[in-house]
Structure 1
Amino acid sequence: FFSFLAFVMEVDEFPLERFFAIHEFTAPHLLCCSDCETITVGELLAKEEKGVEELLAIPLMYSESLGDPQLREQIAALYDTISSDEVLVDAGAAACIFSVVSMALQPGDHLIVQFPCYTSLTDLAKAYNIEISLWKTDPDNNWNMELDDLRAMIKSNTKMLIVNSPNNPTGYIMKVEKFKEMIEICKQNDLLFLSDEVYRGLEDPENRLPAACDLYDKAVSLGVMSKSYGLAGLRLGWFATHCKWLYDKIVSFKDYTTICTARPSEFLSKVALKHKEEIIQRNLEIVKSNTKLFDEFV
């Protein structure tokens, strides 16, 4: 299977990740991180009375392919309309993006992607010979995006829209009314909608968008422990969707890729989600403090 993928896919180098590979663990100071300052395993386990004991008792066998049932229940609780059977856990957001793009699109399809964005949201589809249009944000207008531009891009072979909000790297957050109108455009054109929501929780609550999967049955909401929670070392992400045919295809595809996630990571993710308000509040305080320092610096 993987030799077949290598044959059909010509993947461009990922410049950002190659940059990180050289500098991320050697530079004395990093101003380019996209995740919150992390905590140690000990600090996380200290939040649970028997945390260390329970971690040490975990058998190092395979875990359930869909993800730990209790963990999926916790993730489903982050949404308004999602059940645990509509959540799939995988090895980070990158694995989820790879699976969604691989199973939702095929050569000859057309994909629209908000730009700028994280490279894998565009270049994976490019490797599959998917036609891509970039829905560009306007740096002179607070990185705003015009819905008329989106409407003009949609063609007969358009299959999916990808948007990341809060956006990496611009920080742009679409207004709720515009977000809902954008989803109506997806509905009218029967488009799949991949909503990259990995920074959800770090924005001002007054600006927080509803999860796309709660508004549209062909939307896929992407989440991860890396960004808002600052726990990138767990390598654990998920997607949530009401779209059963796509969910089932990705479940089957996962048997050829990651198969399952690591039991210790699932356990630590359950601890983190149990204490999510405390963890995110701590991270928000760091963000606010660093924003002030950055403003003074520039």
Structure 2
Amino acid sequence: MNSDSTHAADLQKAASQALGDIEPALLEDWFRSRYFDAKIDISSSGMQNYSLGQLRGMLGVSMDELDGLPFRDSPTLGCEPLRAAIAARYAPTRSERVMVTHGSTEGIFLALSAVVRPGDEVVVLSPVYQSLSSVASALGATLRVWELSPAEDFTPDLDRLAGLITAKTRAVVVNFPHNPTGAMLDPQGYHRLLEMVEAAGCYLFWDAAFGELVYDFTPLPDPAAIMEKCVSFGTMSKAFGLPGLRIGWCIAPPDVLATMVKLRDYVTISTSPLNELLATRVMENVDTVVGPLREQARFNRLLLSTWAADHPDLISLPLPHGGVSAFPALPRGVDTISLCDKLLDEHGVLLVPGLCFGHPDRVRLGFGGGTDELQAGLEAVAIAASELASPVAAY
């Protein structure tokens, strides 16, 4: 074996060992033993879930259409009608770059695995949805952290990002609207980000799981529609109210897709034709499906803001500009893990401690569910936090 082959084998071995040692997914660990026991969920970053019957009624999907579906394998990249519908909404003329995935999580894992090598520098956000940082770290990358500061209400600071990008940067990984804070880039910041990445010649990984849910700014275009070295991700698990459908997508350069296909052949192979049929109809009627949920989210966001203003001694809330998750702080002295356990044990309310996102003084609070459920959950939070708070506690 020559030296080049030996070096390549060593790198492959290092990457394999690192993936085996990937950090536990803290959010999923938290949900695993609690999610199905909760009566009220104000933890999630998605919308109120549709039922199959509701979906069929909205989209006119007949039982005959479902009954006629053969359960054969789908194409590796997904069925053509669904890929075309995704491209039509997010990246017109680039349907050949679309891969249908099992939620966005599979796309993130496959794409990072296709691009990142041991020793690469990768810029990641903090706080962050863990897949967007831990996968790159497990692949052997050196993480350079773009901190969203609580003191600035998690507003993205582009000057801070500029100081992190170097000649060694392989990729910049972001998600806007941001999970868990709901922070957003304004249009000027969006264009500056794209210019920075293109000037560096690195990849942009753009997670747009909440791209359909924007309140104070203009929805941001998918950069994969115009950039060459961009991989973007979307999912029906968040804004669409369809997490159980397990359908997401990515839009990526052809060479990245080719490597993703090679990796996928060893894991999931393809997605379900039944799920793809439903997802195609959804993607052809996005506003019909998302519109009512978006209006509910707007109302719930106002309700959340009013509730926080009514409890200034208990909650410090940076108002989310997108998505349906907020990341409020609790007074000093309130153990947020104890708070979340107390809420579940005594009130049946599910909430996520900020430790899952590296901020133990905060909680992730979801407001995408039913309004009555949100109101009941917020009332329980106020009661439980009051019981745990010290009389002299402050932020």
Q: Please, which of 96, 101, 108 is the counterpart of residue 97 of structure 1? A: 108
Root-mean-square deviation (CA), in Å?
1.8
The change in CA–CA distance for 1:49 and 1:284 in structure 2 (over 3 A counts) is: closer
Deviates more, 1:270-279 or 1:117-126: 270-279
Kindly tell me the number of residue pairs found equivalent between the two proteins: 295
Query: How far apart are the structure 2 equivalents of 1:150 and 1:204?
Result: 24
Deviations 1:140-161 (A, max 9, x none): 2231222222222123321000
1:290 match: 300
CA spacing shift, 1:131–1:266, aligned 2, 3 Å: same
Would the aligned equivalents of 2:18 and 2:139 in 1 still touch at CA under 8 Å?
Answer: no
SS in 2 for 1:160: strand
Q: Which structure 1 residue ranges, 5 or more long, are not aligned? A: none
**2:40 maps to 1:17:** no
The match for 1:271 among 253, 258, 281 is 281
Secondary structure of 1:77's aligned partner: helix
Greater shift in the superposed pair: 45-54 or 107-116: 45-54
TM-score by length of 1: 0.94
Aligned counterparts, 1:78-93, within 5 A: 78-93=89-104
Shift of 1:7: 7.3
Deviation per CA, 1:182-234: give whole Å up to 9, x if none. 11111111010000001011113842111111231111111111111010001
Counterparts of 1:135 and 1:230 in 2: how far apart (Å)? 30
Determine if contact 2:173/2:206 at 8 Å carries over to the other structure.
yes
Match of 2:122 in 1: 111
Between stretches 124-133 and 73-82, larger displacement belongs to 73-82
Provide the C-alpha distance between the structure 2 equivalents of 1:132 and 1:8, rounded to a whole number of angstroms. Answer: 15
After the TM superposition, which residues 149-298 of structure 1 pair with which residues of structure 2 at under 5 Å, given as runs?
149-204=160-215, 206-241=217-252, 243-298=253-308
For the Cα contact (< 8 Å) 1:90–1:258, is it kept in 2?
no
Aligned to 2:71, the other structure's residue is in SS state coil
Q: Which residue of 1 aligns with 2:319?
A: none
- Counterpart CA distance in 2 for 1:222 and 1:66 is 14
Using the TM superposition, give the Cα deviation of residue 271 of structure 1 relative to its aligned residue in structure 2, in angstroms: 1.8
> For residues 213 and 287 of structure 2, what CA distance do their matches in structure 1 show?
11
Change (3 A) 1:182 1:46: same
Task: Give SS of 2:306's match.
Answer: helix
Question: Secondary structure in 1 aligned to 2:46?
Answer: coil
Identify the match of residue 38 of structure 2 among 20, 27, 43: 27
Q: Distance in 1 between matches of 2:225 and 2:85?
A: 16
Distance 1:33 1:8 in 2: 27
Deviations 1:225-279 (A, max 9, x none): 11110100011111113x2211221122211121100111101111212221011
Amino acid at match of 1:294: L
| Map 1:26-65 → 2, pairs under 5 A | 26-65=37-76
The secondary structure found in structure 2 opposite 1:60 is coil
Distance in structure 1 (CA, Å) of the matches to 2:220 and 2:78: 26
- Describe the shift of the 1:205–1:138 C-alpha distance in structure 2 as closer, same or farther (beyond 3 A): closer
Q: Give the unaligned 5+ runs of structure 2.
A: 1-11, 309-395
Any idea what the Cα deviations from partners look like across 1:75-129, whole Å, max 9, x if unmatched? Answer: 0011244422110111111100100110100100010012211011111111122
Contact 1:108 1:130 in 2 (8 A): yes
Range with greater deviation from structure 2 (152-161 or 67-76): 152-161
Name the CA distance, whole Å, in 1 between partners of 2:168 and 2:84.
36
Of 79, 88, 93, the residue aligned with 1:77 is 88
Give the partner amino acid of 2:104: A
Asked if 1 retains the 8 angstrom alpha-carbon contact of 2:103 and 2:248, the reply is yes
The answer to whether the 8 Å contact 1:173/1:207 transfers is: no
Distance 2:260 2:217 in 1: 34
Partner secondary structure for residue 144 of structure 2 = strand
Q: Distance in 1 between matches of 2:215 and 2:305?
A: 18
